[in-house]
Amino acid sequence: MTEHAVPRHHRPSRLRTFLFGAPYYPEHWTDDERADDPARMAAAGVNCVRMAEFAWDRMEPREGAYDFSFFDAEVDRLGAAGVRTILCTPTATPPRWLTFKYPEVLRVDRDGRRMEHGSRQHACTNSPLFRHYSRRITAAMAEHFAGRPHVIGWQTDNELNCHFALCYCQACQEAFRQWCRQRYGDDIDALNDAWGAAFWALTFGDFAEVLLPTDRPARSNPSHVLDHRRFVSDTTAAFHREQAEILRAANADWFITHNGLMRHIDYAAFARDLDVLGVDLYPAFSMDDHAIPFSADLARSAAGNFIVPELQAGPGGQVGYMHPTPAPGQMRLWMWQSAAHGADGVLHFRWRTCRFGAEEYWCGVLDHDNVPRRRYEEFAREGAELARAGPRVLGTAVDVEVGVLVEHEQLEAHAAMPLGNPSPRDQARAAHRELWRRAMPVGLVEASDGFDGLKLLVLPGFVMMDADLAERLEAFVRAGGTLLATAWTGTRDRCNRIIDHTPPGLLAGLFGAAVDEYGKLPPGGGRIELAGGAGVESGGWYEVLKPASAEVIGTWADGHYAGGPAVTAAAVGKGRAFYVGTFLTDANAAPLVAPAISGAGAAPLVDGLPEGVEAVRRSGDGRSLLFLLNHADAARDLTGLPPGADLLAGRDVDGALTLGPRDVAVIESS
């Protein structure tokens, strides 16, 4: 896809219709059980479904014998009712004939155990033979459906790396060696230097000696591990890219998506081959009101506005767990929360709850007995609201003035040598939660993006640093931005080796301070006293700072380092740079982030929001949409609102309104 000048977190999608519907599995039901589906979908405002991601055996029951007639009929039947189809390549579940005939395509775990047919994601995406069959079924489907007007797009595979991400089969071994050859220009000495192979006599004489890191018997080299995770991300993207290229060649009008966000995939790179990224959202895993905002913002940081191919509709459970049943209004609230944070399409998982298989208690819009009840009525309300408001939402993007930096490789580098400390993702979540709670215009920002329009950036313990990122961060501050970084920042190079400069290394001049001493703290150990006397608990780590040009605004309150600088602030150009000598957590983020917010010039979207009410703003095409979401079980009175029209209730708003329990308002203003 074409690169954009607009930062990812602020890009609208190119969709012309706000997509609304559900994943649909007609192969699970009889003709009679499906008979009412088109009419019920149309009555609920459904405009699209997703089909066929697990139906390879239905479409190719025997090798080379294709039969698409079943899905032809379903696509046409739904299309006649105004419901279009997103088809899926079915490669997450290859048919039994394939894995029995070619067992070498099955994945192998770290302990050498080969996976078995009977679940999903059991075939290796690096297997040349499996890649061959994946291309073949993709090409057959693409050719067959290319001229069918009711097919509007495709999802490749399904949740790549969800259940199984790290394969140790022979195909992966050979592919990793080839990847290393390409990365290091066929120079084994360059690999040895990058990995620090002098340690533990790890020196390689040839690429043929390179093995996958397994931690047997001791921990693997963190530089080796980081490169392996890069390899996993790159080759997963290559598997998807093969399918996307086949589909685009068959019909350039189709859009291509994939549903994440899963492990060991750099979605900022992966999404270059997509028209729109998908993110599957199941907030009932935590019942945390912040779950959707954080995951949605991760998707936006990678690729801009997104779709939700799967949004939880009811309770879900498998074998050992069962989610609580969403309360009345919760399903609708989740849908509008997704839209508020950048979704340009939402499909509730799933249309009807299956009566068999591993997901027979993943409840959908309709129950097992196929009787429409409360969830269907709520679903239909969403469809009616989107028919009115969806066209106004499209073309807008989330306003972001306060950014929390994210970068996939930072997470992988940390995971290779974590020492039990919070990851950059953990800290990003804590900072984002605090800024979201304050109703700030906050978003996650991919580190390779531009920082234009941002007033505050949080750098959550990026262990790896290079000259390019360091220079861009300094330019951001000198131009008037505010930067806040946390412990461990800039301590390693891009090979995951410790740097030879005092931390924060390349950023020491920007922060006007360096780390004089550091160490691990027990849970609850260590406290920081901020200027003004406020006490703050540590994040399980202490860094005693040595200021050069920086002002000390927080000191350690206990331990042998009591009185030592813990938090500093430096004036740089027109901006300020804060350094916090510990990690951010949910417990300490509020006081540690507050000094940076106060001087950054960013203001809440709405002042004085009651507890449990969320505010998000999308803008574009000359309009502004303020989303107000009440997560509480009781009504909330809101004041200080901009004048405008509530697109959902059809009412004018002039400064105040009351939101009922789990209710939503979308106020449009010029």
Looking up tokens 């192969």 gives 27
| Angstrom distance (rounded) from CA 594 to CA 597 | 5
Rounded to 10°, the helix 291-303/424-437 angle is 110
310 is catalytic: yes
Tokens found for residue 612: 């449990």
Tokens found for residue 81: 């009712």
611 is catalytic: no
Q: Is there a contact between 511 and 489 (Cβ–Cβ < 8 Å)?
A: no
How many C-beta neighbours within 10 Å does residue 119 have? 11
Name the active-site residue from 53, 60, 159, 382: 159
Tokens found for residue 20: 């609304």
Q: Is 620 left (phi over 0), alpha (psi -120 to 50) or beta?
A: left
Q: Is there a contact between 410 and 422 (Cβ–Cβ < 8 Å)?
A: no
Q: Is 331 left (phi over 0), alpha (psi -120 to 50) or beta?
A: alpha
Whether residue 422 is preceded by a cis peptide bond, meaning omega within 30 degrees of 0, is: no
Alpha helices, DSSP H only, in 570-667?
A: 589-600
Among residues 605, 554, 60, 10, the alpha carbon closest in space to that of 302 is found at 10
Residue 14, amino acid = R
* Cα atoms found within 13 Å of the Cα of residue 458, Cβ hemisphere only: 34
Tokens found for residue 224: 């080796």
Longest dimension (CA), the chain: 77
How many angstroms separate the Cα of 28 from the Cα of each of 213, 363, 371?
41, 14, 16
Name the active-site residue from 53, 60, 74, 310: 310
Rounded to 10°, the helix 222-250/188-195 angle is 120
Q: Chain centroid to CA 239: how far?
A: 20
Whether residue 504 is preceded by a cis peptide bond, meaning omega within 30 degrees of 0, is: yes
| Angstrom distance (rounded) from CA 647 to CA 374 | 23
How many angstroms separate the Cα of 248 from the Cα of each of 1, 242, 276?
11, 10, 14
| Angstrom distance (rounded) from CA 556 to CA 529 | 6
What are the beta bridge partners of residue 567? 554, 580
Looking up tokens 């998506």 gives 257
How many C-beta neighbours within 10 Å does residue 101 have? 12
Q: 3-state DSSP call for residue 308?
A: strand
| Angstrom distance (rounded) from CA 653 to CA 606 | 14
What are the beta bridge partners of residue 65? 62
| Angstrom distance (rounded) from CA 385 to CA 93 | 36
Alpha helices, DSSP H only, in 66-127?
A: 69-80, 96-101
How many angstroms separate the Cα of 397 from the Cα of each of 21, 620, 624?
22, 6, 10
Among residues 462, 413, 421, 423, the alpha carbon closest in space to that of 228 is found at 413
Tokens found for residue 105: 């395509």
Identify the burial level of 245 via C-beta atoms within 10 angstroms of its C-beta, where 0-12 means exposed, 13-18 middle and 19 or more buried: middle
Which residues does the annotation mark as catalytic? 159, 310
